[in-house]
Copies of this chain bind each other. A is one copy, B any other.
Amino acid sequence: MNVEEIIKTNQQMPLEKRTLIHLALVVNKIDEEIATVLKPFDISIQQFNVLRILRGQNGKPANLSTINERMVTKMSNTTRLVDKLILKGFVNRTVCLKNRRKVEIVITEGGLNILNKIDGILFEAEKRILKNFDKTELHELNELLNKF
């Protein structure tokens, strides 16, 4: 990936600016690839993220704040994100008995099924995206990202 070529600029940028643009371009590319994988399942990256969080609960219900703090990309409105998932039959929502301000959100069988179907395809996509990296390089990249 050549930054200057992609954004069609001939002027040379300071290394700092170039790095930040480079990161943005890379993540755009990754998001595109993953969205393409999810598209046939009619699920957005955000919705997928919520489903994975709920699966990680192992049956234990989650409330909105829990989901929110675990999301990779925070959303201002998780209520409506969950609404969509309910419509699709992937999650259930009930009012928490102990604290009626809270809601309890659980993934359904249907939700688990679709995640299972997606898992393999996504894994392949992840390998494809990172095909040019060996383990050492991946570690190096993670080390550098830790500095942010």
Contacts and interface: CB of A to CB of B under 8 A. Distances in A.
A15 B135 contact: yes
A16 B70 contact: no
Given A23-B26, A147-B137, A148-B129, A142 B72 contact: no
Q: How many copies does the complex hold?
A: 2
Tell me the interface secondary structure of chain A in the complex.
helix
A27 B20 CA distance: 8
A118 B99 CA distance: 47
> Looking at chain A, what size class is its interface with the partner chain?
35 or more
A100 interface: no
Interface stretch (A2-10, A36-44, A80-88, A89-97): A2-10
A16 B134 CA distance: 10
Interface of A: 1-2, 7-9, 11, 15-31, 56, 69-74, 126-127, 129-130, 132-133, 135, 137-142, 144-148
